[in-house]
A and B are shown apart, each in its own frame.
Chain A
Amino acid sequence: MDRRPSKTPGFWESTVGKKTVMAVSGLVMLLYLVVHMLGNLKIFFGTDEFNGYAHWLRTVGEPFMHYEWTLWLVRIVLVLAVVAHAVSAYQLSRRDINARPTKYVHKRKRASYATRTMRWGGIILGLFIVWHLLDLTTLTVNEHAVHGEAYQNVVATFSTWYGNVIYIVAMVALGFHVRHGFWSAAQTLGVGSAARDRALKTAANGLALLLTVGFVSVPVAVMTGVVS
């Protein structure tokens, strides 16, 4: 062990440390989203199966876990991940903007669309999470709003034009965010290399497409009457 009186800043003080926090919290949320998306597809198997699945989510881990304990554990981890992700993003963004106080006179388009929209995309997703919780968790803004009737609540949401617009815009933003975010997380965690670059980019694009198509299939199914 190398021990020294160091002036080197700690993990969280470093830009690389903050990026690591952002990468790990992002991957936690990404893992959750894949499971969430697959669970959503149960809506194609009818009211009973979907509502049964929604109820099962509250009983996961019983009898070791009490009713809803597992669900609350997941919620706590997710809130921590969202906060860690947002705080590191905010602090790094402020630093990045301050590092270029004078802009170039000759402007040109830099980097890909997904890369340029990470910050605004993240803000859109943050706002969407608030709307989504009010809509389908607390049911505050839901048109049906009956606890235990998840299927009917989802159909109610996607029977309104604004419900569809908000959801689809957010899911497209999610796709772009994951496209650059997953690959970036790999670089930040030191997994990226020239040899793995193509595989990581393919995985990032695949995940982004899978999530967006999977999530958007539900409102499209309600709009087209496949789910009603």
Chain B
Amino acid sequence: MKLTLRVWRQRNADADGAMSTYEVDGISSDMSFLEMLDTLNEELILRGEDPVAFDHDCREGICGACSLVINGDAHGPERTTTCQLHMRSFRDGDTIDIEPWRAAAFPVVKDLVVDRSAFDRIIQAGGYVSAPTGSAPEAHATPVPKPDADYAFEHAECIGCGACVAACPNGSAMLFTSAKVNHLNVLPQGAPERETRVLDMVGQMDAEGFGGCTLTGECATACPKGIPLPSIAAMNKEWLRANRKVSRG
């Protein structure tokens, strides 16, 4: 396959960026999207040019490191992560636009790499359970109903890649935050911090400069892990409940 790539190039966080056009040839339809970019970078290095910076780690679709908005879609045309997207989703002669996640809360570090520490700070605000350290507790000491376990697992699938923010016209992090809140709030292990978790995580989410939710549903469509849109309604319910329960001293 021969492709024309239009890639966002930006030297550093403070520099102005622009789309640069590259031609790549000899792309196999079995290559992953990242392998295609590796091919481009090898050529750029041979030519003595600066390779395109992009995030990647496991390349197995489970770490959440890879990003890229491909032809306007977060993670490209298939419902998966960019590393699991294959070049058979494109045709010979295609022009492909590659851009970084765009959000005020995700500043560009270089080229296609953005700083997603805002998500880490949302997790630090409440995305944990207080557990006593020491030996592991007896597994059956805390029974969890099967539907609750399934619900928690569905939300635990979130890998924190940020595609929801990238796809949302408001740059909102509601789907990410709701996945993390619902995952822990439904479980008995998460019960002691049930109210403070949702209040603090939503508070941190707002403090990071993410937009609000207008329920366009773009986030759930882009999510490679299929976190469903009703998760947001479930978090809103938790947030309203917590507001009734917690008195602000």
> Would you call A146 an interface residue if the criterion is a C-beta within 8 Å of the partner chain's C-beta atoms?
no
> Would you call B71 an interface residue if the criterion is a C-beta within 8 Å of the partner chain's C-beta atoms?
yes
Q: A8-B199, A110-B218 are in contact. List 8 more A-B contacts (CB 8 A).
A: A1-B246, A6-B200, A15-B202, A16-B236, A19-B212, A19-B236, A96-B170, A190-B240
8 A-B contacts (beta carbon < 8 Å):
A1-B247, A8-B200, A14-B202, A17-B243, A95-B170, A99-B104, A100-B169, A106-B97
Please tell me if the beta carbons of B248 and A96 are within 8 angstroms of each other in the complex: no
> Would you call B171 an interface residue if the criterion is a C-beta within 8 Å of the partner chain's C-beta atoms?
yes
CB-defined contacts of A11 to chain B, threshold 8 Å: 243
> Would you call B239 an interface residue if the criterion is a C-beta within 8 Å of the partner chain's C-beta atoms?
yes
Q: Which of A2, A104, A183 contacts B215 (CB 8 A)?
A: A183
Interface string of B205-235 (1 = CB under 8 A from A): 1110111111111100000000011101110
Please tell me if the beta carbons of B71 and A100 are within 8 angstroms of each other in the complex: no
Query: Which of B71, B72, B238, B241 has most chain A Cβ within 10 Å?
Result: B72
Instruction: State the B residues within 8 Å of A (CB).
Output: 6, 8, 19, 69, 71-73, 97, 99, 102-105, 169-172, 195-196, 199-200, 202-203, 205-207, 209-218, 228-230, 232-234, 236-241, 243, 245-249
CB proximity of B99 to chain A, nearest CB, Å: 6
Query: A124 CA to B246 CA in the complex, in Å?
Result: 39
> Would you call A105 an interface residue if the criterion is a C-beta within 8 Å of the partner chain's C-beta atoms?
yes
Please tell me if the beta carbons of A192 and B239 are within 8 angstroms of each other in the complex: no
Query: A15 CA to B171 CA in the complex, in Å?
Result: 13
Please tell me if the beta carbons of A192 and B230 are within 8 angstroms of each other in the complex: yes
Please tell me if the beta carbons of B169 and A110 are within 8 angstroms of each other in the complex: yes
CB-defined contacts of A192 to chain B, threshold 8 Å: 230, 233
Please tell me if the beta carbons of A101 and B104 are within 8 angstroms of each other in the complex: yes
Please tell me if the beta carbons of B103 and A191 are within 8 angstroms of each other in the complex: no
Instruction: State the A residues within 8 Å of B (CB).
Output: 1-11, 13-20, 92, 95-108, 110-111, 115-116, 118, 180, 183-184, 186-194, 197
Query: Which of A7, A15, A16 has most chain B Cβ within 10 Å?
Result: A16
Query: A8 CA to B207 CA in the complex, in Å?
Result: 10
CB-defined contacts of B19 to chain A, threshold 8 Å: 105
CB-defined contacts of A99 to chain B, threshold 8 Å: 103-105, 170-172, 209-211
Query: Contacts A99-B104, A189-B240 given: A197-B230 contact, CB under 8 Å?
Result: yes
CB-defined contacts of B170 to chain A, threshold 8 Å: 95-97, 99-100
Closest to B204 in A: A8
Query: A137 CA to B199 CA in the complex, in Å?
Result: 44
Closest to B205 in A: A15
Q: Which of B6, B216, B243 contacts A110 (CB 8 A)?
A: B216
Query: A183 CA to B217 CA in the complex, in Å?
Result: 12
CB-defined contacts of B215 to chain A, threshold 8 Å: 115, 180, 183-184, 187-188
Query: Contacts A110-B169, A187-B215 given: A98-B209 contact, CB under 8 Å?
Result: yes
CB-defined contacts of B206 to chain A, threshold 8 Å: 9, 13-15
